[in-house]
Structure 1
């Protein structure tokens, strides 16, 4: 099984945003919320309108940690200024306890409507949107990894260690080498080192 990778190229990120917005405001904002907050898809899909209406931050206990031995604590994620206005317009007319990213289908077995977007639907949507640009190692963690990758890559060199520590806390990682591998940074460093290699020609 392939390791899920971040989207490294900012130009491709902007193209994906453009494509998604053209087809679906829901899918566009789902993607943007992921790359601007670092939330897991499992947390994104369960967000309700009340979590973002008239808010500057989203506060939640990550679903993966609430019933496990991992540290379970409330986390705050800022709603990025680049999408705040789009998000406000998107939720106009929605009730507070509507799911922010609702499924468009009713459940086959129960007939339920107004449910959150299914994880498999989110995966297919992301795979199609991202795969169009030749990126192969795509998964539900791609958004989270993209957020972390660009957070650290755009940090000034003197803030790199501090940013890595922040990411470790956000990801609930206890080992910085795991965080670096998770973000694909060790592979990037290896690739760059190999490309720089040069053997003398005789």
Structure 2
């Protein structure tokens, strides 16, 4: 399994969103998944199981498939906007991110198809982009804005801050820069 990266700037996040919309020729499904995933930081398998009714409530209660842990997630304004837009354009959908084709009607989009769409955009712009990039990006941006490792650990539901530190993928260049930033 190839290691995917966090997207480290707002400009790159927006560029990915535009590419996902453009590559899908007007279908916003993958761009919506990308943007919503950045807001909630769920693993893709949990994200795709969210029903429209759950999303409309504004408060998610998720039992994580990987860990079995329960998470409560309050949807922020951007996430609620995505939900409202999807509800308006797909009023009969069972799942927030549901397949549009008739042969798979009533089923969530597959993890594989999301991974392919993300990888294609990542290849196009030169980043190892995958379904886990949404979680990593949220963690990275929280870290960059000064949120404590412990809080990020809680948000991502990691079992320890050490896992979160590894997960954030802090590079040697970033470590080296601290020696110039903090001269005592």
Normalised-by-shorter TM-score class: 0.7 to 0.9
The aligned counterpart of 1:98 is 94
Query: Cα offset for 1:45?
Result: 1.0
User: How far apart, CA to CA, are the structure 2 residues paired with 1:2 and 1:27?
Assistant: 21
User: How far apart, CA to CA, are the structure 2 residues paired with 1:84 and 1:18?
Assistant: 20
Structural mapping, 1:61-100, within 5 Å: 61-66=63-68, 72-73=69-70, 75-92=71-88, 93-95=90-92, 98-100=94-96
TM-score (structure 1 length as normaliser): 0.75
Query: Cα offset for 1:83?
Result: 4.0
Structural mapping, 1:12-161, within 5 Å: 12-22=12-22, 23-53=26-56, 55-66=57-68, 72-73=69-70, 75-92=71-88, 93-95=90-92, 98-105=94-101, 112-135=104-127, 137-155=128-146, 160-161=147-148
Query: Cα offset for 1:105?
Result: 4.2
Q: Deviations over 1:131-179 (max 9, x none)?
A: 32211x2222111111111112113xxxx43xx1122223333332221
Report which of the two has the higher share of helix.
2
The aligned counterpart of 1:192 is 174
The aligned counterpart of 1:200 is none
The residue matched to 1:91 in structure 2 has which SS? helix
Q: CA 1:178–1:90 in 2, change beyond 3 Å: closer, same or farther?
A: same
> What is the alpha-carbon root mean square deviation over aligned residues?
2.5
The aligned counterpart of 1:69 is none
Runs of 5+ in structure 1 lacking a partner?
67-71, 198-202
Q: Is contact 1:25–1:90 with CA below 8 Å preserved after alignment?
A: no
TM-score (structure 2 length as normaliser): 0.82
Runs of 5+ in structure 2 lacking a partner?
180-184
User: How far apart, CA to CA, are the structure 2 residues paired with 1:139 and 1:25?
Assistant: 17
The aligned counterpart of 2:182 is none
Moved more, 42-51 or 10-19: 10-19
- Number of equivalenced pairs: 176
User: How far apart, CA to CA, are the structure 1 residues paired with 2:117 and 2:52?
Assistant: 21
Q: Deviations over 1:79-105 (max 9, x none)?
A: 22134224212212523x611111234
